[in-house]
Structure 1
Amino acid sequence: MATTRITLEDLPLAALAAVERQTGPVLKTETVSQGFNSEIATRVFTDSGSCFVKGLRADHKRVWTQRREAEVSSFLRGIAPALLWQVGEAGWVLLGFEDLNGHHADYSPGSPDLPKVADLLRRLGEVPCPGVELRQAEQRLAAYAANPSDLEYFAGRSLLHTDLNNHNVIVDDSAYLVDWAWATRGAAWLDAGYWVVWLMAAGRHEPESAERWARTIPAWSVAPRDGITAFAQATANVWEEIAGNDPDGWTARMLDAARRWASFRKRA
């Protein structure tokens, strides 16, 4: 379920003042339309530069995602924008991040962004999983696996992003992952699997092409064949639930991609 987006100026005055104590006087803001996890998502410009501010009300049911992002941020140097500050004021939890100047990743076949995203996932695979409370991949997928025994494939000790939406990947000289709301601990190859579905949905790849990119990620080369097939089916089941009976165009594309990948894996 998407979260209603508001502007920075809609914040209580005390919360806005707390932001300006970190940034200096705000000269201009640009609200970002992409993303579903934050009520505030805006680029903030001041005399000293810019930053990206995101936040949720302190009583929002998903406010824990803001705290999770803050907890993992220090482990993601070179992988994600740096967390500059965090404040809790007037019923709001707000995070200020380094402002990236790149573009959203282009996942289409032949895009020059694809090698950079593959390199990003390889570098993420080298990051030790932090000792903070994280959701477990096998728990998140428990309701969607075709067989309970499949969950063993998804368990692991690696730090995962789990939402490889191309709008969560910013590309400049290299690629960066933003929005770590759903950071998860699990099998190292799972993010490459999530990327497969997004390559098919956002980039219009066929399953064979998407999996060729997944194979450039070292963890994928040691992933159990049956585990990949189980994950593809679980992912299709996730999108079946999200889509419901009347999906919008974006959700319908994700469901179609997930179904096609699951069908491909059954024949592989």
Structure 2
Amino acid sequence: MNTRIGWDELPHGVRTGIEAILGGSVVEARSQPGGFSPGSADRVRLASGRRAFVKAVSAEVNATSAALHRREAAVAAALPAGLPVPNFLGSYDDGTWVALAFTDVDGRHPAEPWVAAELEQVLDTLQTVARANMAGVADLPGCADALRGAFRGWAKLAKRPMKGLDPWAAGNVERLAGLARHGLAAMAGTSLVHGDLRTDNILLIGPAGSRMDGSRRGPGRAVLVDWPWAALGAPWVDALSVMINVKSLDPGSDPDVQLRAHPVFAGVRAGDVDGVLAGYAGYFLDMSRRPDPPGLPTLRAFQRLQADALIGWLKLRLDGGSPAPPRSCATLRLR
């Protein structure tokens, strides 16, 4: 999604600070693709054979990314034990460069477009995360507070219309703004929410879960990485974010099948889902028309892709519009 710098391009002092956290010298580093940070992201091996994952960014390149690294360090240190997340090893911060170190996870990202077995594996993991005991974990905002400004996207579009907007969306701006307001309230809850789940923030370990006889599962599991947006909210919020990713990667897929079938969505009202989808659609649209952030030349295009997929999904859910045709025979098929 963007061009990263590598371990060898980090300033000497930053590398030395990271090695002090890791307790040894780095002898091998492999840069990892994906994500939107303009900094580094490396799987490293120490002289001792120990492995870790390290990411670093400079506030001089993108101040927001540095602030998010600091936020993630605080979240990682506070998360309760037993969650499917990498162990946090420590952070380096010299006021300009911020670096985080975690245990390395020997996993793979889900396929793009998503396939059904891997999707179920991830949704099963999210159902477990939603049950985590968050008592005593302070300083996590509620989803509604974290997204209150973001979910005003349709209200901003009503005041300042956007060229090239889908005609159905243009004719339903006020309706979608109202849904987004409802979506904020619907997200309230006390479950741990990652807040930014898509394929590049998920690692799969082992084979995907199996439901050959309706109950059997394989030993595979998912590990969730990159936690700067952590919040407290409804237990289905992250699972819906994954379904948004499913739809954006394959507009011809039908995520509503999983919304009806998987237990992580049990009891969720259709209007609540519509509200959250509308909130994110307006946010992505409004953001997509802004200038590229420093060091992130592909972010706005990604946000427009997300918005277009969500508008297509909302059109189908609210007014029965025609879904987009499938893009690939290898894509997710859940109809």
Alignment TM class, shorter chain as reference:
0.7 to 0.9
Once the two structures are TM-superposed, the CA of residue 93 in structure 1 deviates from its matched residue by 2.1
1:70-94 CA distance string (max 9 Å, x none): 3333426341111122222473221
Moved more, 150-159 or 107-116: 107-116
Change in 2 beyond 3 A, CA 1:200/1:222: same
Residue ranges of structure 1 left out of the alignment (5+ in a row): none
Q: How does 1:173-252 map to 2 (within 5 A)?
A: 173=206, 174-203=221-250, 206-207=253-254, 210-244=255-289, 250-252=302-304
Higher strand share: 1
Once the two structures are TM-superposed, the CA of residue 31 in structure 1 deviates from its matched residue by 1.7
CA contact (8 A) 1:103 1:171 kept: yes
1:151-199 CA distance string (max 9 Å, x none): 2212222211122211111111211111112112222221122111111
| Matched residue SS, 1:41 | strand
Whole-Å separation in 2 of the counterparts to 1:66 and 1:84: 14
Change in 2 beyond 3 A, CA 1:151/1:112: closer
Structure 2 partner of 1:36:
36
Letter of the aligned partner of 2:5 in structure 1? I
| Matched residue SS, 1:128 | coil
Whole-Å separation in 2 of the counterparts to 1:30 and 1:4: 14
Whole-Å separation in 2 of the counterparts to 1:215 and 1:114: 14
Letter of the aligned partner of 1:67 in structure 2? R
Once the two structures are TM-superposed, the CA of residue 5 in structure 1 deviates from its matched residue by 3.4
Whole-Å separation in 2 of the counterparts to 1:127 and 1:217: 19
Whole-Å separation in 2 of the counterparts to 1:14 and 1:245: 35
Structure 2 partner of 1:254:
306
Residue ranges of structure 2 left out of the alignment (5+ in a row): 155-176, 207-220, 292-297, 321-335
Larger relative contact order (C-alpha < 8 A, sep ≥ 6)?
2
Whole-Å separation in 2 of the counterparts to 1:192 and 1:205: 19
Count of residue pairs the alignment pairs up = 265
Change in 2 beyond 3 A, CA 1:258/1:223: same
Matched-pair identity in %:
25
Moved more, 166-175 or 220-229: 220-229
Change in 2 beyond 3 A, CA 1:245/1:7: closer
Highest Rg: 1 or 2?
2
Query: TM-score scaled by structure 1?
Result: 0.85
CA contact (8 A) 1:161 1:182 kept: yes
| Matched residue SS, 2:153 | coil
CA contact (8 A) 1:165 1:198 kept: yes
Change in 2 beyond 3 A, CA 1:191/1:125: same
